[in-house]
Amino acid sequence: MDDTDRAIINALQGGFPVCDRPFLVAAESLGLTETALIDRIAKLRADGVLSRFGPMYNADRFGGHNTLVAIEVPEDRFDEVAAIVNAFPEVAHNYARAHRLNMWFVVAAQSRAEVDRVLTEVEAATGLTVHDMPKQREFHVGLRFEA
C-alpha cells in the first residue's frame, strides 16, 4: 500500500459522491483519473487490503438488526474460516484480533431471525462456536492511515 492508496482509503471513508460519475468526482479530488481510482480500488480488494467496497448501512435505523460476532479460530484455519464468513452477504466487515477470540465481524440483516440464521450457518459451515454480542451502545471509530 503506497501513499496514494492510503489517501484513497482515508478520503473515501468519509463519504462518496452521489452523482452520475461518482468515481470521476472522487478521483479528481485525489488528483487521479477515474480509471486509475477504479483500478486502485480493484487492486486493493484483490490484494485483500479491502474486504469490500460499498456503503455501510446502520441496519437498526432501517428496522433491521446487527450484531458483533467473535470466533476462536485455529491459526492454521484462519484464511479458510475468513473466506467462509466473508461469503455471507450479511457480513459487513471482518477483522483479525490478537486475542483468544481472534476473528471479529459484524452481521447486519433485516431481522433478528435473519441474524440468528446467519450465525447458525456460520457455525455449521466452520464447525466453530460463534459468540454473539448484540450492540448495547454505539461507538464510531474512524480508521485513518498515516503516510
- 13 and 7 Cβ atoms separated by less than 8 Å: no
**pLDDT at residue 62 greater than cutoff 90:** no
> The domain containing residue 83 runs over which residues?
59-134
Quick check: is 112 in a domain?
yes
Which residues have C-beta within 8 Å of that of residue 80, sequence separation ≥ 6? none
Tens digit of pLDDT for each residue in 15-54? Answer: 788 999 999 999 999 999 999 999 999 999 999 888 778 7
Cβ(102)–Cβ(96) below 8 Å: yes
* pTM given for the model: 0.64
Is the domain of 41 the same as that of 97?
no
What domain count does the chain have?
Answer: 2
Q: Judge whether 147 lies within some domain.
A: no
Assess whether 94 and 65 both reside in one domain.
yes
Quick one: 30 and 67 in the same domain?
no
Integer distance in angstroms from the first to the last C-alpha of the chain?
Answer: 10
| Lowest mean per-residue pLDDT among 6-10, 62-66, 84-88, 128-132 | 62-66
| Nearest-angstrom CA–CA distance, 20 and 39 | 19
pLDDT digits (tens, 9 = 90+) for 87-128: 999 998 888 999 999 999 999 899 999 999 999 999 999 999
Residue 86 sits in a domain whose CATH number is 3.30.70.3460
Is 107 in the same domain as 70? yes
